[in-house]
């Protein structure tokens, strides 16, 4: 093994400032492990942080991205969770093991990889052993790399916080990574799934994945479509990926005492809701900030038990990060992954 590795870093905000550079391979300290990174999944959040549209103080020089899968190749003194050769995935919020995350009303919790902490866009990373989870045995590294953020967000929204039950209905908006994970998780839980999209081709592919109903939101009023398909009952669980003014439409579509999981801000961070249906339907509107390590471990077991296969739109080489980000701009069906 050589003594150096490649990694992506930036000294200031802006995609044009990303640089692929060479540095020394880090060595693990006490209770740390070194991981040879084999795959990195990109999230829309990564694009926002790189471009500065998601304000956050970054540790400069900064390495983006939070989601990786790889193999432990060295352990530090006192490290007992993993051994060399173990396949692992990162955890999005390393300090959040279970329960309620650290933080308070003035300083909400948001200490994630590729943001508060350095990210994983490197050939090797060294992290505390508690920051990793075992990878699913049924997935390759590219597939496994998609779980820490997108997969866990969908799982946390529907299962951990939503307590989804068989026979309930789930609406997923769009066909990005979180939405397709939500579709697959909901079907594995025995739910009925509705999908909205502006693309007939993507709706067809979502139906092939198991969606029960596909609604083209450009060809009709999708809320009225939901009323017709559910005999006015509405949807039990809505995966709200758009934000902004769209949340008001989700409030129209949700069932009485239903759940809306707010996970996306494509239309902006500010939202306005009409008080009438909010009061009369009394839904749970839940912001989802990904999830904790214990829930990620639950998801890994569910993936292995149910044969869930993450949808990867395209795999790029590690040095093709700019092309992968361009694909993220265009919109992906599922996930975009860099492989090493």
For 189-234, write each residue's pLDDT tens digit.
Answer: 999 999 999 999 999 999 999 999 999 999 989 999 999 999 999 9
Rounded mean pLDDT of the chain? 95
Same-domain check for residues 12 and 146: yes
CATH number at residue 210: 3.40.50.720
Same-domain check for residues 207 and 79: no
Same-domain check for residues 212 and 312: no
| Structural domain span for residue 66 | 4-151+291-339
What is the model's pTM? Answer: 0.95
For residue 179, pLDDT beyond 90: yes
CATH number at residue 107: 3.90.180.10
157 located within any domain: no
CA distance 71 to 267: 38
What per-residue confidence (pLDDT) applies to 82? 97
81 located within any domain: yes
The answer to whether the bond into 61 is cis (omega within 30° of 0) is yes
- Residue where a domain terminates, one of 244, 261, 287: 287
Cβ(35)–Cβ(5) under 8 Å? no
For 6-30, the pLDDT digits (tens) are: 999 999 999 999 999 999 999 999 9
CA distance 76 to 30: 5
- Mean pLDDT, residues 153-162 taken together: 97
Same-domain check for residues 147 and 27: yes
Cα angle 5, 150, 33 (rounded to 5 degrees) comes to 35
CA distance 157 to 305: 20
Number of domains comprising the chain: 2
Same-domain check for residues 191 and 142: no
Same-domain check for residues 14 and 93: yes
Same-domain check for residues 332 and 235: no
Sign of CA dihedral 145, 142, 187, 269: positive
Same-domain check for residues 224 and 326: no
For 54-108, the pLDDT digits (tens) are: 878 888 899 999 999 999 999 999 999 999 999 999 999 999 999 999 889 998 8
What per-residue confidence (pLDDT) applies to 1? 58
């Amino acid at each position: 093994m050589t003594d150096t590795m490649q990694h992506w870093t930036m000294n200031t905000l802006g995609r044009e400032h990303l640089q692929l550079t060479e540095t020394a391979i880090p060595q693990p300290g006490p209770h740390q492990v070194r991981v040879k990174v084999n795959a990195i999944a990109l999230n829309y959040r990564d694009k926002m942080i790189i471009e500065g549209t998601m304000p956050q103080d970054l540790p400069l020089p900064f390495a983006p991205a939070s989601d990786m899968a790889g193999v432990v190749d060295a352990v530090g003194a006192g490290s007992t969770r993993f051994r060399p050769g173990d396949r692992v995935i990162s955890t999005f919020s390393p300090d959040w093991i279970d329960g309620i995350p650290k933080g308070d009303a003035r300083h909400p919790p948001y200490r994630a990889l590729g943001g508060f902490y350095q990210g994983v866009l490197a050939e090797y990373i060294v992290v505390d052993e508690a920051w990793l989870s075992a990878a699913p045995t049924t997935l390759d590294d590219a597939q496994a790399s998609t779980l820490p953020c997108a997969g866990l967000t969908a799982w946390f929204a529907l299962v951990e916080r939503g307590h989804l039950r068989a026979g309930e209905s789930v609406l997923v908006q769009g066909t990005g990574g979180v939405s397709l994970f939500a579709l697959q998780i909901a079907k594995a839980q025995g739910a009925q799934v509705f999908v909205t999209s502006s693309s007939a081709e993507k709706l067809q592919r979502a139906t092939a994945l198991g969606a029960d109903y596909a609604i083209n939101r450009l060809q009709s009023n999708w809320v009225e479509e939901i009323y017709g398909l559910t005999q006015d009952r509405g949807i039990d669980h809505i995966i709200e990926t758009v934000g902004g003014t769209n949340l008001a439409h989700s409030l129209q579509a949700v069932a009485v005492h239903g759940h809306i999981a707010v996970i996306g801000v494509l239309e902006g961070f500010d939202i306005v809701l009409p008080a009438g249906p909010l009061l009369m339907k009394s839904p749970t509107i839940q912001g989802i900030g990904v999830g904790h390590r214990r829930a990620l471990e639950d998801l890994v077991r569910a993936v292995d038990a149910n044969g869930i296969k993450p949808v990867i739109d395209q795999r790029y080489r590690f040095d093709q990060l700019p092309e992968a980000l361009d694909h993220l701009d265009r919109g992906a069906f599922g996930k975009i992954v860099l492989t090493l």
